[in-house]
Chain A
Amino acid sequence: MQVLTRSIPLLITGLAGLVMILSAFFPYTSEWGKVAGQFFNILAAFAFVLGGGNLLKIHLKKVSDQSKGWGYSGVILVCFIATLVVGLGKLGVYPNHDYPNIRFSGETQSSGAFWWAYEYVFKPLTATMFSMLAFYVASAAFRAFRAKNFEAILLLGTAFIILLGRTFAGVLVTGWIDPQGPFGGLRLEELSVYVMQVFNTAGNRAIMIGISLGIASTSLKILLGIDRSFLGSGD
């Protein structure tokens, strides 16, 4: 069992990683990298079935046990099954114009009940969730910008410059400074650009360099089998 659960997955991980590295530098092996990527896509496609099965199992159990919040599970199950039926059955889909007599020849992307549900149910719900972000940004900013200590005051001041510099009010406040004069750089819109291009870019690059080195080191540990904790054998 140790061979099936540890050695073979480690071997596959190492080989796939090696192929991906080789394909980046040796053009003749670039196709191998694509094949490795396709293998992952095939696995991920099978995993959809696994995910669907798990979803059904978990929520059917909740409904069956009538555990806390089982009504939500009922809604999930109804939506899941309805979407599956209209999607696989291609309900309301017009046949492809090349094969007008074959009912299943049409595509669900432009017509049918699946398309309708996606366009008029799923997309508005998604947009609703996304739009809530604006309120969360406001509440997080309110907490983060409290001038508790020196660092927080610096953060608050920088945020003030950036936020104001990107509005018409910012342009208006420092509009009296001659843009061509020696103090033109102190106009809020100019300061905002300066902070973003110099301080923000420098900090971002430092983080990016650290991340890149971390990725290289972690990848090597996984490829060499030094870090096996993702397989459940770390300790």
Chain B
Amino acid sequence: MNRAGQRIALALNALLLAGLTGVAAASSPLTGAPPAPPSGVSAEDKPWDGGGTVLLRWEASSTEEIKGYEVFAHQEVSGSVAAAEAEQSAKDEAEAQTEAILEGEGVAPEDAEQQAGERAARDVAPVTDVPKWNSLGVVPPDQLEFIASGLDKSTPYRFMVRAIGSDGEASADSNVTPALVPYAQWFDGAKLPLFCILFVICGAVFLYVMLARSGMPMKIRTIAGLKAVDEAVGRATEMGRSILYINGIQDMDDLQTVAGVTVLGHVAKTAAEYDAKIEVPTSRSLVMTAAREAVQSSYYTAGRPDAYNPDLIYYVTDEQFGFVAYVSGMMTREKPAACFYMGAFFAESLILAETGNSVGAIQIAGTAQPSQLPFFVAACDYTLIGEEFFAASAYLSGQPDQLGSLKGQDVGKIIVGVFIIIGVGLATVQAATAGMPSMESLHEGATSAVDFLVNTILGS
């Protein structure tokens, strides 16, 4: 919509508003006259950010009673870019219309595409040189600054502000700011708290790994699910049935899958020692490759390289329910004695675990998907909950430097605990002192501190 169109729309809105609220035209001496525009609009790139954010400031409109200010931005793109955008827009529109015609009108696909192309070509707006002002939002009349975010980091922008009168009519345009590129600085300052927390936690992990290597004794509590690995493998050996190991349905870029492969190595070593058959169907081919490496290495470590069979670690399908159908069918037919579910699982978790339960298998699960944990807890014999799953590798290996990393993790828990106590205390003070004139300064201090914790620390 061009500017004339916008003004007509705003005027119509104003008329409608006046009609609905019953405000008499004579009640305001300024009725009918648009408010004065704000002046001195300035734009400045936000310092220490990741780019795409501009700070805008302006001086108030001389008209006293206004509803607020509307901020506009104009992205300066070259003619060729604008033409390309228009062409892409027409193409997208044609595709959307094709879908709509196919679904709604039941015509043949080729006719639908032709019709949609014709409609899109007819409807697309011609490329003009008139600046396209996009509204970024409306702010209250007492607010004289605005943070424009989500802008493109590489193209220049111009900004202007309009005052909106009490009757809804917009003022004339303010001054237009010079073109400004919202570029990125070398460090994103908004992420400084996260960087500091990460530095402290990683530093603690590193420190305890070094201490463990130097001989400091490390103790870890018993994790029932991991203690039961030997029991599960032993049971499978006694029953002469196989062990089924499912590594989740995500790829190797998910840390849960990596942790699952790590646990697989230890389970496979135990299976090799007990001479039990372990079968690993995977939902991703990269996971299959990694799992083969881990299992082969375990068989070598156990002194049974001859017993390693790569055909027992195989790819099924990437499709979630296709994989579930295969594994459930296999469980029902082959009745494994022990089932391990270690990795990232979604809706398939309960289907797998319940099928395993129905065939009488001993089941051990581990995942960091909080939504799937209740299903595993309900259907499995043992469940590694969240961090226990990531601690499994250190627990099973018993290596001092790996156990040291768990100690470092505990430092992180202490930091989080301290922050929680401080935050809860401040929020309580803030709530308790609200509306108490004698405690106004304490209330303001607590409010600022809570804002800092919520928006700056947690927001990073």
The chain A residues found within 8 Å of chain B, CB to CB, are 5, 24-28, 30, 40, 43-44, 47-48, 50-51, 54-55, 58, 61, 68-69, 72, 94, 97, 110-111, 122, 125-126, 129-130, 132-133, 136-137, 139-141, 143-144, 204, 207-211, 213-222, 224, 226-227, 229-235
In the bound assembly, the distance between CA atoms of A39 and B302 in angstroms comes to: 35
Q: Is the CB of A69 within 8 A of B333?
A: yes
- Chain B nearest CB, measured from A9 CB (Å): 9
Complex interface: chain A residues within 8 A of B93 (CB): none
For the complex of A and B, 8 pairs with smallest distance between CB atoms? A51-B285, A232-B297, A214-B390, A27-B184, A210-B387, A232-B293, A144-B378, A214-B387
Question: Which residue, of A133, A213, A226, has the highest number of chain B Cβ atoms within 10 A?
Answer: A213
Complex interface: chain B residues within 8 A of A214 (CB): 368, 386-387, 389-391, 409
Given A27-B184, A130-B347, A230-B262, A211-B387 contact (CB < 8 Å) = yes
Q: Is the CB of A27 within 8 A of B405?
A: no
10 residue pairs of the A-B complex, CB under 8 angstroms, read A27-B188, A48-B285, A50-B315, A129-B321, A140-B350, A143-B378, A211-B370, A218-B393, A231-B293, A234-B262
Q: Which residue of A lies closest to B256 (CB)?
A: A215
Q: Is the CB of A50 within 8 A of B202?
A: no
Whether B209 is near chain A, meaning CB under 8 Å from some CB there, is yes
Q: Is the CB of A141 within 8 A of B378?
A: yes
Q: Which residue of A lies closest to B320 (CB)?
A: A126
In the bound assembly, the distance between CA atoms of A224 and B195 in angstroms comes to: 18
Q: Is the CB of A229 within 8 A of B285?
A: no
Q: Is the CB of A222 within 8 A of B391?
A: no
In the bound assembly, the distance between CA atoms of A130 and B62 in angstroms comes to: 63
Complex interface: chain B residues within 8 A of A226 (CB): 209, 401-402, 405
Complex interface: chain A residues within 8 A of B284 (CB): 44, 47, 51
- Chain A nearest CB, measured from B260 CB (Å): 9
Q: Is the CB of B293 within 8 A of A126?
A: no
Q: Which residue of A lies closest to B391 (CB)?
A: A214
**In chain B between 380 and 429, which residues have their CB closer than 8 angstroms to a CB of chain A?**
385-387, 389-391, 393-394, 397, 401-402, 405-406, 408-409, 412-413, 416
**In chain B between 65 and 116, which residues have their CB closer than 8 angstroms to a CB of chain A?**
98-99, 102, 109-110, 113-114
Q: Is the CB of A230 within 8 A of B258?
A: yes
In the bound assembly, the distance between CA atoms of A132 and B386 in angstroms comes to: 27
- 13 further A-B contacts with Cβ under 8 Å, apart from A110-B109, A216-B201, are A27-B184, A27-B186, A51-B284, A54-B285, A110-B98, A140-B378, A217-B412, A220-B206, A221-B405, A227-B394, A232-B296, A234-B393, A235-B266
Q: Is the CB of A28 within 8 A of B184?
A: yes
Q: Which of these binds chain A: B130-138, B238-246, B322-330?
A: B322-330
In the bound assembly, the distance between CA atoms of A185 and B187 in angstroms comes to: 49
Q: Is the CB of A27 within 8 A of B413?
A: no
Complex interface: chain B residues within 8 A of A68 (CB): 333
The chain B residues found within 8 Å of chain A, CB to CB, are 49-51, 98-99, 102, 109-110, 113-114, 117, 184-188, 191, 194-195, 198, 201-202, 205-206, 209, 251, 253, 255, 258-259, 261-262, 265-266, 269, 284-286, 288-290, 293-298, 301, 311, 314-322, 324-325, 329, 333, 347, 350-351, 353-354, 357, 368, 370, 373, 375, 377-379, 385-387, 389-391, 393-394, 397, 401-402, 405-406, 408-409, 412-413, 416
In the bound assembly, the distance between CA atoms of A188 and B353 in angstroms comes to: 31
Complex interface: chain B residues within 8 A of A139 (CB): 354
Q: Is the CB of A26 within 8 A of B186?
A: yes
Complex interface: chain A residues within 8 A of B187 (CB): 25-27
Q: Is the CB of B413 within 8 A of A213?
A: yes
Complex interface: chain B residues within 8 A of A208 (CB): 370, 386
Taking a contact as CB atoms closer than 8 A, the residue among A54, A69, A129 that contacts B324 in the complex is A129
Complex interface: chain B residues within 8 A of A28 (CB): 184, 186
- Chain B nearest CB, measured from A233 CB (Å): 6
Q: Is the CB of B198 within 8 A of A216?
A: yes
Given A61-B311, A234-B262, A43-B286 contact (CB < 8 Å) = yes
In the bound assembly, the distance between CA atoms of A202 and B443 in angstroms comes to: 26
Given A55-B315, A216-B412, A227-B393 contact (CB < 8 Å) = yes
Taking a contact as CB atoms closer than 8 A, the residue among B49, B262, B286 that contacts A229 in the complex is B262
In the bound assembly, the distance between CA atoms of A133 and B285 in angstroms comes to: 26
Complex interface: chain A residues within 8 A of B198 (CB): 216
